[in-house]
Chains A and B, each alone.
Chain A
Amino acid sequence: MVAILGFIILPAIVVGIAAFNDKALLSFPPEQLSLRWFYKAISYRDFQTGFHNGLIVMLLSSFIALFIGGAFAFVIDRYEFRGKTLLEGLLLAPLVVPHFTVGLGLLILAAQIGATRGYTVVVVCHVILVLPFVLRSVYISLRNLDQRLELAAASLGSRPSRVLMTVTLPLLAPGLFSGWLFAAILSFNEFTASLFVTSQRTQTLPVAMYNYVREYADPTMAALSVIFIVVTATLLTVANAYLGLGKVLNVEQAR
């Protein structure tokens, strides 16, 4: 079991060490250590633009997905209606449909309606891809919500909107936040579909990184990867400490 964990961590550690290599080779172990690849990674123009674009797309997609997904999870949990299964199936489909298919589809769609390949297409794409995760997260939270608290508020005279604002949403906060966090991280790191729908102008960071790797083989990417890994791991550790990732991923013990 330790071996398996080791297998998972291995690339991260190797890349971490390789990032400090002074030479411009992807060799291991490094002969001299230096921080210059980190400087290069942060100052490289394409990476900066990619980071900037990625941030814009991420913020837009994650919040839009949060509102749409959170609202719909509420509907799935509480109401029955004709076409519910179909709608649910369609929105969860991106879990099975490959990202390149979604990307290609939106690219073709954008071309057919004559839309320019600006941020809109990318945001729409990311929302579609990220929505299932928000849905899952908020739905699990809703299932764990004791509805008697809402009923109590209603019986004391609150209108449904007031119950929603003062009881439901605060209780759902962890699920909403973790859903948003998943959406944000997944959107920022999304690559395959983004490769299809982004243009030179709207390139996100992963796309910029991919273009870089195809041309250059120096440890700049290793440095960038290290930054990625450290930031992501920290975010997740914090999320786990405050929210309990286990609950959100539905791996808690039933009893």
Chain B
Amino acid sequence: MLVRPSLCQVDPLDNPAPALSADVRRRPFFGLFTVPAVVVAIVFTIAMAAILQYSVRAQIPGSLEVGGFTFTNLTAMLRPLYARVFADTVWLCLLTAVISLVLGYPLAYALVRSTNLTVKSFILIVTVTPLFLGEVVRTYSWIVVLGNNGFVNSVLLKTGIIAEPLQLLFTVTGVTIALVHVTLPVVVVMLAAAISHIDPDYEKAAESLGAGPFRTFLTVTLPLSGPGIVAGLTTAFAWTFSAFATPQLVGGGKVNMVSNLVYQLGFANFNFPFAAALCVAGLLLTYLSIFVMRLVLRPMEKIGVH
């Protein structure tokens, strides 16, 4: 699986390789520690299978039961109404990922390379806190900022830059701004992890050969952080795809992502089969988009491997 997230990235102590023997004596706790994890994995798989199964069943209007097998959900999805939502979602996710990358890289770099501990902590706290605030609080804060009586408009109106309030809520611009705010922390954390593992010796070598700091950055640091950039972009894409409260509240029904559609069809129309079909399509779309992104950015990934 191309996008399987993996834990195996760092081994600073060169610990011995995992035990290969099936001898129980050499693998204490194996059963006890693995079985619960297997149970969780099974539950997750069954839940996904349930969605898959529902996606090919018909809806019986007015009831929570499902009918027989049918492909109507699939064909219905191809209708412009829904296809547009998919296209919009992909575009929003892409845009958000790129903007987050552009804004996040300087932050990540400063976070890793600054020597002042207070600065480091400050950047870390400020960047990570939004991640833990939960979607509703974050999104709501943006409503206060972007609303017609909100912060942005008040400042712009009072300073006379504009005469009428700017419509930011319920627009793609507003949703994008809020989504970037949501995704930025994730990108910064991933980039910082990648940048922190770049061997400073490479940069020192470049400097000793006469390159100025800017040139060193462009020709050594940036390429070496390639894999981190790719990982950050793909994670940002997947993360943004999962966003629900932000497009729902800031978009206000005018800007819809797949997540909002699923909720609407599930809880407003009780059309769970179609909602499930949308989920399946959404998942496939996410994996496909990430696959394409990684394919296109393959050169960047290769450079950074050292």
**Contact A143 B40, beta carbon cutoff 8 Å:** no
Residues from chain B with Cβ under 8 Å of A210 in the complex: 136, 245, 249
* A242 touches B (CB below 8 Å): no
* A236 touches B (CB below 8 Å): yes
Residues from chain A with Cβ under 8 Å of B290 in the complex: 96
* A5 touches B (CB below 8 Å): yes
* B43 touches A (CB below 8 Å): yes
**Contact B40 A251, beta carbon cutoff 8 Å:** no
**Contact A209 B136, beta carbon cutoff 8 Å:** yes
A27 to B142 Cα, complex, angstroms: 13
* B172 touches A (CB below 8 Å): no
* A221 touches B (CB below 8 Å): yes
Pick the interface stretch among B77-85, B195-203, B213-221: B195-203
Q: Which residue of chain A lies nearest to B42 when distances are taken between CB atoms in the complex?
A: A90
Fill in one digit per residue for B126-161: 1 if any A CB lies within 8 Å of its CB, else 0.
Answer: 111110111111101111110101110010000000
- Contact residues of B between 52 and 93, Cβ < 8 Å to A: 54, 64
Residues from chain B with Cβ under 8 Å of A88 in the complex: 4, 6-7
Fill in one digit per residue for B1-35: 1 if any A CB lies within 8 Å of its CB, else 0.
Answer: 10111110111110110111010000111101110
A6 to B203 Cα, complex, angstroms: 30
A196 to B12 Cα, complex, angstroms: 42
Q: Which residue of chain A lies nearest to B248 when distances are taken between CB atoms in the complex?
A: A210
A233 to B128 Cα, complex, angstroms: 9
**Contact B141 A236, beta carbon cutoff 8 Å:** no
**Contact B154 A28, beta carbon cutoff 8 Å:** yes
- Choose from B107, B134, B198 the contact partner of A206 (Cβ within 8 Å): B134
Q: Mostly helix, strand, loop or mixed at chain A's interface?
A: helix
Q: Which residue of chain A lies nearest to B275 when distances are taken between CB atoms in the complex?
A: A104
Residues from chain B with Cβ under 8 Å of A96 in the complex: 3, 5, 238, 286-287, 290
Query: What's the interface size class on B, roughly?
Result: 35 or more
- Given A11-B181, A89-B4, answer yes or no on A75-B41 (Cβ-Cβ < 8 Å): no
- Choose from B5, B20, B127, B141 the contact partner of A95 (Cβ within 8 Å): B5
**Contact A249 B150, beta carbon cutoff 8 Å:** no
**Contact B144 A18, beta carbon cutoff 8 Å:** yes
Q: Which residue of chain B lies nearest to A101 when distances are taken between CB atoms in the complex?
A: B279
In the complex, what's the smallest C-beta–C-beta distance from B24 to chain A, in angstroms?
Answer: 11
* B282 touches A (CB below 8 Å): yes
Q: Which residue of chain A lies nearest to B113 when distances are taken between CB atoms in the complex?
A: A253
- Given A88-B7, A93-B44, A191-B136, answer yes or no on A240-B262 (Cβ-Cβ < 8 Å): no
A213 to B196 Cα, complex, angstroms: 41
In the complex, what's the smallest C-beta–C-beta distance from B256 to chain A, in angstroms?
Answer: 13
**Contact A10 B145, beta carbon cutoff 8 Å:** yes
A8 to B141 Cα, complex, angstroms: 11
* A146 touches B (CB below 8 Å): yes
Residues from chain B with Cβ under 8 Å of A251 in the complex: 111-112, 124, 189, 192-193, 196
**Contact A253 B196, beta carbon cutoff 8 Å:** yes
Q: Which residue of chain A lies nearest to B259 when distances are taken between CB atoms in the complex?
A: A100
Q: What is the interface of chain B, defined by CB distance below 8 A to chain A?
A: 1, 3-7, 9-13, 15-16, 18-20, 22, 27-30, 32-34, 36-38, 40-41, 43-48, 50-51, 54, 64, 103, 106-107, 110-112, 120-121, 123-130, 132-138, 140-145, 147, 149-151, 154, 181, 184-185, 189, 192-193, 196-200, 235, 238, 241-242, 244-245, 249, 258-259, 262-263, 266, 272, 275-276, 279, 282-283, 286-287, 290
Q: What is the interface of chain A, defined by CB distance below 8 A to chain B?
A: 1, 4-5, 7-12, 14-15, 18, 25-29, 67-69, 71-81, 85, 87-102, 104-109, 111-112, 124, 127-128, 131-132, 135-136, 139-140, 143-147, 160-161, 164, 182, 185-186, 188-192, 195-196, 206, 209-210, 213, 221-222, 224-225, 228-229, 232-233, 236-237, 240-241, 245-246, 249-255
New contact pairs (13) apart from A132-B5, A192-B135, CB-CB < 8 Å: A71-B37, A90-B41, A96-B5, A98-B241, A99-B244, A100-B263, A108-B276, A136-B7, A139-B7, A191-B135, A228-B134, A240-B121, A251-B192
